Amino acid sequence: MAHRTPIVVGNWKLHKNIAEATALVTELKNQLGTVRDVEIGVAPVFTSLSAVAKRVEGSNLLLGAQDCFYESGGAFTGEVSAAMLLDVGCQFAIVGHSERRAMFGDTDAVVAKKTRAVLDGGLRAIVCVGETESERDAGKTTERVGTQLSAVLEILSSDDLERVVIAYEPVWAIGTGRTATPAQAQEVHAFIRKQMAARFSSAGEAVRIQYGGSVKPDNAQALMSEADIDGALVGGASLKAEDFAAIVKASRPAR
């Protein structure tokens, strides 16, 4: 099996002003500064990126944005480009989060364009996929996740894969406290892995697949011990340094 370094990222969503964000990242550096066997990232709001970038410089913490527009410049009020994210000190951007898909019109096609722009801009992309509760209840989980994934796979080449992470986030598990069971998550991760391998063979096997949706210190280890779960995309629990640090530590590979 391909060796994959776990990657755990805190998606801070619309939380934390500059002072709060810098305080949190400073605490994370204190608690996680020596971890080398897990990649760790934080994704603050746009307005905190610059301040947080200064704090993470030279550390083991990666900085990312929660979204990225696909055009590089022009009359696009309110948008931010990949080049600008690189300029402020980001190493990655999240694209296709279900909140953006549900509330801000990010279709599969838009997510594919954003993914391409992020990679072309020299950043890494965390691409989110996941089914709603009604899609799951209707037995359409793999169909929905498969469609979301194919739209992105179409614009990827094998050269991109090192800089791509897929995040499986079942919408019904986000912010609800209702985590997918390790077995439920593993089933979909294995499906995603199969799609990646079908398209890119062994290079596809090496792509990390994070789980997201009510990951907490007390359920992280069970999730991470599944074969195809390579880390976590954490919302609520990433806002408290101790909880996020505990999740990172629970994700460390067994030695």
Binding site residues, ligand 13P, CB under 6 A: 11, 97, 169, 174-175, 212-215, 233-237
- Tell me the residue number closest to ligand 13P, measured at CB: 235
Phi, psi dihedrals of residue 123, rounded to the nearest 5°: -105, 165
The least distance separating ligand 13P from the CB of residue 137, rounded to whole angstroms, comes to 19
Residue among 121, 122, 96 at smallest CA distance from 107: 96
Verify whether residue 169 is a known catalytic residue.
yes
The least distance separating ligand 13P from the CB of residue 13, rounded to whole angstroms, comes to 7
Verify whether residue 3 is a known catalytic residue.
no
Selected catalytic residue, list 39, 97, 131, 189: 97
Instruction: Identify which of residues 11 and 186 has a Cβ nearer to ligand 13P in the complex.
Output: 11
Cα distances (Å, whole numbers) of residue 217 to 180, 206, 232: 15, 26, 11
- Give, as one character, the DSSP assignment of residue 124: E
Instruction: Identify which of residues 117 and 232 has a Cβ nearer to ligand 13P in the complex.
Output: 232
Alpha-carbon distance of 230 to 220, in angstroms, equals 11
The least distance separating ligand 13P from the CB of residue 159, rounded to whole angstroms, comes to 27
Strand partners, 165: 126, 208
Selected catalytic residue, list 99, 131, 135, 169: 169
Residue among 81, 89, 76 at smallest CA distance from 48: 89
Instruction: Identify which of residues 42 and 156 has a Cβ nearer to ligand 13P in the complex.
Output: 42
The least distance separating ligand 13P from the CB of residue 31, rounded to whole angstroms, comes to 19
DSSP 61-122: EEEEES---SSSSSS-TT---HHHHHHHT-SEEEE--HHHHHHS---HHHHHHHHHHHHHTT
Alpha-carbon distance of 109 to 104, in angstroms, equals 13
The least distance separating ligand 13P from the CB of residue 103, rounded to whole angstroms, comes to 13
Instruction: Identify which of residues 97 and 113 has a Cβ nearer to ligand 13P in the complex.
Output: 97
Instruction: Identify which of residues 185 and 200 has a Cβ nearer to ligand 13P in the complex.
Output: 185
Cα distances (Å, whole numbers) of residue 28 to 31, 46, 92, 245: 5, 19, 18, 7
Catalytic residues, by residue number, are 97, 169
